[in-house]
Structure 1
Amino acid sequence: MKRDINELVAKIRDLEAELEEKLIERRRDLEYKWSHGRAVFSREVKERQRKLKISAGRFFATSGFWEILTSPFIYAVTIPLILLDIFASAFQAVCFRVYGIRQVKRREYVVFDRHRLAYLNVLQKINCTYCAYANGVLAYVQEIASRTEQYWCPIKHAERVKGAHKRYNAFLEYGDVASYPDSLQEQRKVLKAENEDD
């Protein structure tokens, strides 16, 4: 049974790699290239984008009343997100060193690049920056939490979990007490071996 699950996980990873190749092809269709770690559009593509830009005033004027009214609630979440970001970073800086676990690279999760898109106005760029930060921090923290879970408690839940992290499928089945001690040590070895892969 475990072999079948491992084979399915391997197939999923292969499909993810194939999907990434298709996304790279799609990016070529959108006419940007990578230069010094950044997506760069040609001058003519940027000019076409600028022609599609809606002014900030028009954007604000066409926003719905409820959208404007709820925006302070959205941006108020920035404070707990910053605190979460700080505490998660401090947690892994201390604990992961002690456990011998590779630290999560924040820059791989919290990415700011949408502000360079010529077709976005200043309000849209602010919104995109907020969303990039919020979703990036949550993904970053989820990866920190998943490594912590793999180290301390790599056991699946009895109930199906929506949105489970990528490590979850390799965890021990719920109630498999006979395999627990060895599986826990094996999960830790796998996690520590990730240090050597870098």
Structure 2
Amino acid sequence: MDARAKDLLKRIRMLEDELEVHVAIAHAQLGMHLQDGRIEFEEAVRRRHSAIKRGLLHYIVGARFLVLITAPVIYSLIVPFMLLDLSTTIYQHVCFVVYGIPRVKRKDYVIFDRRYLAYLNFIEKINCAYCSYANGVVAYVREVGSRTEQYWCPIKHARRLLGAHPRYAHFVAYGDAQGYRDELEVLRSELRRTPNV
């Protein structure tokens, strides 16, 4: 990777760190903080949240008919997501050990913390849990896939790739045959030093 690309990546990391600080400030302004890994809201905030919660009956009666009849279609994807989750977990526990690739911690991607929001009713909490699971599994699978790609084929595509994973920026340029031969073991070695996240 050339110096300009390295500089751009460094700036991106700095912006990500700045964004984390901004989010922490926003949480504090909302009366929320983390205490020993637990989410806590100030008492006045909890009372406001409870006052805003929509009752179940009002929530169901107020829903559009098409929303109600498409809900089973949305929830039918739970089985494929669970199979993807299970098969990816088995895959990395078998293959990553063989290749010396650090395993991805699933718990860092599949997070169920929205249940603590007092302004959500029971159905909204179930909906949030479903979305947390589905998007968490996709993120988890993406990280497992990105580590696999870095090990086996760390080559950028010829065309622009939308939504590339963070590892992609470090891959070898498309068509750079010598760079691929020179960098493959370097990228594999870097991957082996990746912390289990």
Q: Distance in 2 between matches of 1:44 and 1:4?
A: 49
Tell me the amino acid that sits aligned with residue 54 of structure 1: R
For the pair 1:43 / 2:47, whether they are aligned, the reply is: no
Which residue does 2:31 correspond to in 1? 31
Deviation (angstroms), 1:182? 1.5
Could you list the per-position Cα deviations for residues 161-191 of structure 1 after superposition, in whole angstroms to 9, with x for gaps in the alignment?
Answer: 1111000011001111121111111110110
Matches within 5 A, 1:8-157: 8-157=8-157
Give the corresponding residue for 2:176. 176
TM-score (norm 2): 0.96
Q: Quick one: distance in 1 between partners of 2:139 and 2:97?
A: 21
Shift of 1:38: 1.3
Which amino acid is 1:11 matched to?
R
Gaps of 5+ in 2: none
In terms of mean alpha carbon deviation, does 59-68 or 137-146 score higher? 59-68
Shift of the alpha carbon at 1:36? 2.5
Paired letter, 2:24: I
Between the aligned partners of 2:33 and 2:179, the Cα distance in structure 1 is 49
Deviation at 1:133, TM superposition (A): 0.2
Residue type of the partner of 1:107? K
Counterpart secondary structure, 2:112: coil
SS at match of 2:40: strand
Bigger shift: residues 57-66 or 87-96: 57-66
SS of aligned partner of 1:194: coil
Instruction: Letter of the 1:4 partner, please give it.
Output: R
The one-letter amino acid of 2:99's match is Y
Q: Which amino acid aligns with 2:95?
A: C
Q: What is the CA distance between 1:8 and its match in structure 2?
A: 0.4
- Provide the C-alpha distance between the structure 1 equivalents of 2:36 and 2:127, rounded to a whole number of angstroms: 26
Aligned-partner SS, 1:34: strand
SS of the aligned residue for 2:39 comes to strand
* Structure 1 gaps, min length 5: none
1:63 maps to a residue whose letter is A
CA-CA distance at 1:43 after TM superposition: 2.5
Secondary structure of 1:40 counterpart: strand
Amino acid at match of 1:142: R
Once residues 44 and 16 of structure 1 are traced to their aligned partners in structure 2, the CA distance between those partners, rounded to angstroms, is 31
Q: Tell me the CA shift for residue 42 of structure 1.
A: 2.5
